[in-house]
Structure formats: structure tokens, C-alpha cells
Structure 1
């Protein structure tokens, strides 16, 4: 049944990917109307998250942000589809990196690198960076249950020759690659573990938040450089990115330094453009009360 649905929808996606951007965004606007006003997709989750992150905002402001965030979510989805039919030249014009030389100098020295970013602005179009970096790029991702849809998205994301690695295989691949090649590992690092797996907690918007520390663990073990990728939305369909150094050598950092710095930088970025963050995912579903493991607290929580 899933295969039939995929083959029915694929021609529509192909057509959309060939349409000019003005029409593509009209389609996105239509999806937004259905998503927010008809389906009410995760509307209360979005508003609840915004209330937690911005307790001083009134309900009018929260509703405004919820609408804009949902509209941006629809744009991200339609832009991913549109990228199927976009040339490299067009994508590089719309997704600009201001300082690729900052990490390329490390590639020349054959130093492995971890790049961390969040669900902010255009996390899907980060694949464009593969074409301006001198590294072999491994993108860590979470596979979808629908195999055909997952394969389609993987092929879209591999457009610039990065290699996609499933989250469950990430640690093994990273451990092997940092010893054999100059590789860059790109991962969306603000994922929230389920209550059954939640163990590490840091402060995110002044709330104890469950996080993963895998990137920090690898960086410390292999003395890997770590960068934060700041992604700013300039206007609809145009983004600008900047690499921000977290550490040149993870092995020389204190415990929690990498993870805490990442979440601090991400929080600062979100505050500047809160409407472009993915508030629909349940960021605070795991708490200190419902976790089933022995908890380790970041110094930011203990302060």
C-alpha cells in the first residue's frame, strides 16, 4: 500500500520540483493553510514549546510565532521537493556560506571535523555546503519508516555527493573514519531522546533538557575539531550560513563544554529568528522526572 502511495505521489513531486519559485511558494501557502487552519498540525505542541522558551510573550505573540513557524515548516518541505529539480548553481545562489575557508584550512591539514547545527532556518539545504568544502562529508540522519520515501529523500540530500549515515550507525562510522581520512560529520544535534533513553540534561531556554552527547564523546576521544553552523534566513528561499568554532581540539575540552556551547549558540540563534525554528517537535518530552536512567547534569543545570 505504501509503495502504491509513493508511486502515485512521486509524479506530483517531480512536477513541483520543476515549477518556478513563485508558484512553488503559492503551493507552500496552500499547504500552510491546510496544515495550520484545517488540520491544526501540532498547533498546541508548537504553542506550548514557544511558551516554555519565551515565558514573557503574550498569547497574541505566541500565536503569531506559531503561524510563522508553521508557514516556515511548509516552506522547508516544499524547498526540499524543489531541490530535486534545481541546479547546483541555483542552490548555491540561494544558500550561501560566508566563511568556508575557516574549515577548509583544516581539511588541508587532514584534520577530521564535526559540524553541529539545529532545526533552524534551512537545515535541509545544508547539503549545498558539500560543494564548497574540501572534506569528505558524512551527513547523519534519521531514516524514515517508508523505505521508498526514505530513499527519495536520501537521493535528494546526496545531490552534492555527501554520504548519508543512519543515526544508529553514526558512532561506528565516525570512529572508523576519523582514523582513516579527513572527514566532516554533519549532524542536527538538537534531537531530544525518548524518556527511556534520556540520561544527559543541559539547560535549553532555562529548562533542563534531555540531549545526546555522542558528538562530544567522539570529539574528545579523537581530538576532533568541532564547529557550530549558524544558519540565518535572509528572506524566503534565501539563506546564509557561517561556521563558528567551538573547539579546535575536542580532547582538550572540559566535560560538557562542547554540548553546552552548542546549545548556547543555538539558543542565541533561535532568539534572533524564533519563527524559523522547528517548534513542532517535542523538545521537552523527556524530563528529570520521567527519565528511567541515572541522570548526569550539565554544569548549566547545576548553577
Structure 2
């Protein structure tokens, strides 16, 4: 059995203007500061929220806007700066020796970009990328190309799955990860407006239903009612960041849990029996 695995999950400032190099620099600097905190705390992996480098606004990018929402004009984005910040984060992961899950926009040559999460190894190499599948109506209509597949990766004997944004509302995506044998799902969720406390409820219920660990990385914003945290296979929070909305990390240890193995075997037998 693998040893307990220390994970750091972040709540960080989310900016919405991908055309503003100053804001992109600020976001990158904050991410790197939190990476250093995570490494100093002995974390093996640090997990960031959707939009950690930038959460592009439909208003800022609208080709008809800002008063009317239309197809996003991605030529407005400062792609060079976005790529530079991602590159600095990737290099720092290697310097610190810490696995890093960092969401960012992934540019495509002949289509709208993906809303993605990159997996950077402790050697400073991008080893996987997950593309958001359950895009909101706005995202899929005006902004992004949806992803098509789950993504897993392994560290120190643990298998992780990835989820972004509204993925958290779709139980079938987590059932898919259950079938793929993950120990934990890393959920990155950006929330910049209004209360969204129900997302935390979804996370706890999903963790219990699939007897898996779930890490929730969110926006540092007290108005949302969400904080970063880690839920255990019973659906209980084992660690949560401060509710004051400040940028921070929270550290927790996930470990082998017999309930995960027993529960997964039971679900597999039952699905076979009922034909689902």
C-alpha cells in the first residue's frame, strides 16, 4: 500500500482580462508564491483553481462587446504572456520538485481554445492536459472547444483524475473516474460572482458516492461562499482554507482507504447485475 500522500490545494485570485499583461503577471506571481508555500509545507502536489492564470471574461473577449455578448475574439488575448507565465510555473515546479496542476487556456491552431488544466511533474515537465467537457452555455456557444475524454495520472502509487468548472455538477463524469480506478479527483472551479456554496455540497456528496478523495481548488473570494479544501471518501472535509477569502493553501494527507476498494468492487458488481 502506498504511504500517505500530502497534497496542497489553493484558493487564489482570479483575474478575467487576458488582454492585460499586468494582471497576468500578478496571477502568475501569486501562483508561484503559493507553490513555494506548498513545497515548504512538504506537499508532494499542489492543485490550483480554474482561471488561476486567467479566467477570460465573455465581455472582454466578445467580438460584439462589451455591451453585447458574441463570439470571442481570441486574438485580443496576450498569448505570449499567458505562455510565459505557464512556462515560469512549469520551471518552478521542477526547481521545487513538486507536482503542479495548473489550469490555463490551451490555444488550438484552427479552432477555439480549450479551457484546460495542465499536469506538471516534479521534474518540470507537462505530462498531461485535461480539457473541460461540461462547458457552460456561454463557454460552449461563444468561447471554447469542449474536451472529449477523462484524464488520469499517477504519483507515488496514487491515481488522480481531473475535473474543471461545471464538471462538478455531472455525476456521470465521476462514475467514469470510479471505473478508471482513481483514488482522488482534483476539481478546479472558478467562481467570480455571487454565492456558490452548493458546489461544496456537490463535492462532499460526490466523494461519498464514489468513496474517493476530492480536492476542490477555488477562487479566493469570500462572496462565493466557497473555500478550498479536501473531502474524504465519506464526504467529510478533512481540511479547508480560511473563509476570509484571502489567497492561501491548505494541506491535507490522503491515504489508502479500504472503503474505496470495497465500495468500488460493490459498485462494479451491482452495475454488472443491473446492466448500467
Structure with bigger helix share is: 1
TM over 0.5: no
Q: Name the TM-score, length of structure 2 as normaliser.
A: 0.35
Structure with bigger strand share is: 2
Q: Which structure has the greater CA radius of gyration?
A: 1
Q: Name the TM-score, length of structure 1 as normaliser.
A: 0.32
